[in-house]
Amino acid sequence: MIIIMKDNASKQDISAVEKRLSEFGFQTHPIFGEKKTVIGAIGDKRQISMNEILLMSGVENVVPIMRPYKLASKELKQEKSVIDVGHGVTIGGKKLAVFAGPCAIESREHFLKMARLVKEAGANILRGGAFKPRTSPYAFGGLEDEGLKIMREAADELSMPACTEVMDTRDVELVAKYADIIQIGARNMQNFKLLREVGKINKPVFLKRGLASTIEEWLMAAEYIMSEGNDNVILCERGIRTYETSTRNTFDVSAIPVTQELTHLPIIGDPSHAAGNYKYVPAIAKAAIAAGADGLMIEVHDCPECAASDGPQSLKPDKFAALMQELGKIAEVIGKEI
């Protein structure tokens, strides 16, 4: 439920309400707005006297949260979350976030080259996998620790935040040491232990939608992370499985406005993993921005035919640069910038 405090509620009023709620076993989550403070309270409603809370000093109203996800819900927080990912980059505001880089970090030389090229084209966040979830156990699984170090070196050289995936609870601490943003891949969207683990760290989490997950399941996954105290969750629509086989997945463009109606969390579109084919990436990228996405994640590789993973869907650097120019025009129309 949500405890809405009066405009003139004092700090003491707020902490007294929080204290009483925690005595009833509730986890409290204050949100300090410009004028008003609201307190999200997560727990068993049957244990509490709503009236008692309503009568406390500084309390204006107590309302239940109807959605199954609470902290992620717009019922709790109407104002959009703007997430600071470091190096002066925020996600969820007027400026679009563009994550770009190869699917996997293949070598130091290659990643540095790709990182410089995507930055030059206008990307503001680096991406690259060091731990790769591969369908085949015989496929390249990533450079792991070495890959993380390469990513950090490139990110520091270019003063850009970097995003990389973690697949195992045992690697969370290690990945968090090197990355600015921790990615939870589509295949792990419902790995609840992993979600809880990244909920305990102090780094933004990039949560990809599961291959066959509903929007509600996806938001429940975000709730797992937030329930552990990490509010900095960025959602990513990366295509879902449908009966259509001409693309790798089907990009669910409607997920962008629907999600924005349900949650305050920012949402990024990933046309690369949706399309599975570089030819369709620009059109899907433009559709995602036109639909209101807060940014994009795009795979870029200078030699797609020799890429260690996801070559067929990777844009060559010149195509990526051309797309960035076109996206600038769309951004302008919808009051955003790139």
Chosen residue from 77, 203, 273, 286 binding ligand PEP by CB under 6 A: 273
Question: Tokens in use for 21?
Answer: 């709620």
**Shortest Cβ 309–ligand PEP spacing (Å):** 7
Q: Taking each helix axis as running N to C, give the angle between helix 192-199 and helix 215-227, from 0 to 180 degrees, rounded to the nearest 10.
A: 40
* Closest to 248 in 3D by CA, of 268, 273, 269, 270: 273
x/- map, 39-78, Mn ion, by CB under 5 A: ----------------------------------------
Q: Mind giving me the DSSP string for 185-243? A: -GGGTT-HHHHHHHHTSSS-EEEEPPTT--HHHHHHHHHHHHHTT---EEEEE--B--S
Choose the stretch contacting ligand PEP; rule: CB under 6 A; options: 43-51, 179-187, 212-220, 225-233.
179-187
> Which distant-in-sequence residues (6+ apart) come within 8 Å of 45 by Cβ?
1, 64
Residues 144 and 250: their CA atoms lie apart, in Å, by 30
x/- map, 140-169, ligand PEP, by CB under 6 A: ------------------------------
What does 336 interact with, of Mn ion, ligand PEP, none (CB < 5 to 8 A by kind)?
none
Backbone angles phi, psi at 231, to 5 degrees: -85, -10
Does residue 185 bind ligand PEP (CB under 6 A)? yes
What does 133 interact with, of Mn ion, ligand PEP, none (CB < 5 to 8 A by kind)?
ligand PEP
Choose the stretch contacting ligand PEP; rule: CB under 6 A; options: 69-77, 82-90, 184-192, 327-335.
184-192
Does residue 310 bind Mn ion (CB under 5 A)? yes
Closest residue to bound Mn ion by CB: 103
Choose the stretch contacting ligand PEP; rule: CB under 6 A; options: 32-40, 92-100, 181-189, 225-233.
181-189
Chosen residue from 43, 86, 93, 133 binding ligand PEP by CB under 6 A: 133
Does residue 301 bind ligand PEP (CB under 6 A)? no
Q: For residue 274, what is the enclosing H or E element?
A: helix 271-275
Tell the burial category of 43 from Cβ atoms under 10 Å away from its Cβ (0-12, 13-18, 19+): middle
- Can you give the binding site for Mn ion, defined by CB under 5 A? 103, 310
